[in-house]
């Protein structure tokens, strides 16, 4: 029986707390202030990329393309690399000799 009285006492306390709840008075401009705070925060996030203007983007793109063209031409013109590799392979016996073929 004591358990029932204890549960009943907790239920009564809960109802007393519910009865003590009063309506909250909110400022009439609360929504406006909140919305301004949210939108101003989004604008700050976007402003971090403002320094990367289209002129700077174009200059960066041109630099990257020029560097790629220079690197490609250096790679293609460098035939001494292939000669060095074949010389290395011949000196260590790593290359195949096509002169000994039966089809020639």
- 5-56 per-position pLDDT tens digit: 788 999 999 999 988 888 888 888 888 988 888 887 655 555 666 778 889 9
pLDDT of 81: 73
Tokens of 48: 């971090």
H or E segment and range at residue 44: helix 30-46
What are the structural domain ranges in the chain?
51-98
pLDDT of 87: 86
- Convert the pLDDT of each residue in 52-89 to its tens digit: 888 999 999 999 999 999 988 887 766 677 788 888 88
- pTM, full prediction: 0.36
pLDDT of 65: 97
């Amino acid at each position: 029986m004591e358990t029932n009285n204890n549960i009943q006492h907790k239920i009564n306390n809960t109802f007393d707390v519910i009865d003590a709840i009063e309506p909250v008075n909110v400022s009439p401009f609360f929504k406006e202030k909140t919305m301004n705070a949210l939108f101003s925060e989004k604008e700050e996030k976007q402003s971090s990329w403002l320094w990367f203007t289209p002129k700077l983007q174009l200059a960066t793109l041109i630099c990257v393309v020029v560097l790629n063209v220079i690197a490609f031409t250096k790679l293609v013109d460098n035939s001494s690399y292939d000669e060095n590799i074949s010389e290395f392979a011949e000196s260590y016996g790593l290359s195949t000799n096509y002169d000994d073929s039966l089809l020639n």
